A and B are shown apart, each in its own frame.
Chain A
Amino acid sequence: NAGVIQTPRHKVTGKGQEATLWCEPISGHSAVFWYRQTIVQGLEFLTYFRNQAPIDDSGMPKERFSAQMPNQSHSTLKIQSTQPQDSAVYLCASSLEGLGYEQYFGPGTRLTVL
């Protein structure tokens, strides 16, 4: 079990460019989550999929952020027209679906917007 895989580990973009972050959940896990971590805001929930269907995107900035899960083996988080305030570590987590299951986190992608 390789755990949750996130690529790339580091990404640097210029202001206004697009960034796509990838997540491969643990095989067999039906729930996939995206969180963002910054020094100022801490850990914030972004969005959540269950069996590839979007369940809750209440944490997503509405205009430039989007997430998809086209199949059970990967999810993407896309940020259009990146801004310096998007600089953060983006964490993906997966879990089995049910009351008592914990979420397992990937190593994160550090996005730096210049």
Chain B
Amino acid sequence: TQTVSQSDAHVTVFEGDSVELRCNYSYGGSIYLSWYIQHHGRGLQFLLKYYSGNPVVQGVNGFEAEFSKSDSSFHLRKASVHWSDSAVYFCAARGATGGNNKLTFGQGTVLSVIP
């Protein structure tokens, strides 16, 4: 069974601070990982993905994430947050082989940025 865990339900930082949102997964094979952002009342917007190659991937709006097989992690980072980054962030995973592309999501992390 594939699981995704986001250990922090809520993270609060000041504008201009750096932030790291944590994601850990449990899966037996090759894995595809992604991060999505959800602003209040909106659908999910894709931020970035990893499935092979360079473990550090860049996304939109200055976000990046690093895949670690040894730690079973895919943490999301941003060097300097803006108040508009306040939203809920979801980590998602699926198998990278086998043809079934359904996503398993973590519980989400609410990021609050204080101006």
Can you list, as one digit per residue, whether each of B101-113 has a CB less than 8 Å from chain A (1) or not (0)? 1111111100000
Q: How far is the CB of B92 from chain A (nearest CB, A)?
A: 8
B49 near A100: Cβ-Cβ < 8 Å: yes
CA distance A105 to B43 in the complex (A): 6
CA distance A93 to B96 in the complex (A): 18
Tell me the number of A-to-B contacts counted with CB atoms below 8 Å: 53
Total B residues in contact with A, Cβ cutoff 8 Å: 23
Total A residues in contact with B, Cβ cutoff 8 Å: 24
Stretch at the interface among A42-50, A63-71, A73-81: A42-50
Query: Could you say which of B36, B42, B102, B108 contacts A42, with CB atoms under 8 Å apart?
Result: B108
CA distance A91 to B107 in the complex (A): 16
A56 at the interface (CB under 8 A from B): yes
Q: Which residue of A lies closest to B106 (CB)?
A: A42
Q: Could you list 11 further interchain pairs (A-B, Cβ under 8 angstroms) beyond the known A43-B90, A103-B103?
A: A33-B103, A42-B108, A43-B103, A45-B103, A48-B101, A48-B102, A97-B101, A99-B96, A102-B34, A102-B49, A107-B43
Sampled A-B contacts (28; CB under 8 Å) = A33-B103, A35-B103, A42-B105, A42-B107, A43-B90, A43-B105, A45-B102, A45-B103, A45-B104, A48-B101, A48-B102, A55-B99, A56-B100, A56-B102, A59-B102, A93-B44, A95-B101, A99-B32, A99-B96, A100-B32, A100-B49, A102-B46, A102-B49, A103-B46, A105-B44, A106-B43, A107-B42, A108-B43
Closest 9 CB pairs of A and B: A43-B105, A105-B44, A105-B43, A107-B43, A45-B102, A102-B46, A42-B107, A48-B102, A108-B43
Q: Which residues of A contact B (CB under 8 A)?
A: 4, 31, 33, 35, 42-43, 45, 48, 55-56, 59, 91, 93, 95, 97, 99-100, 102-108
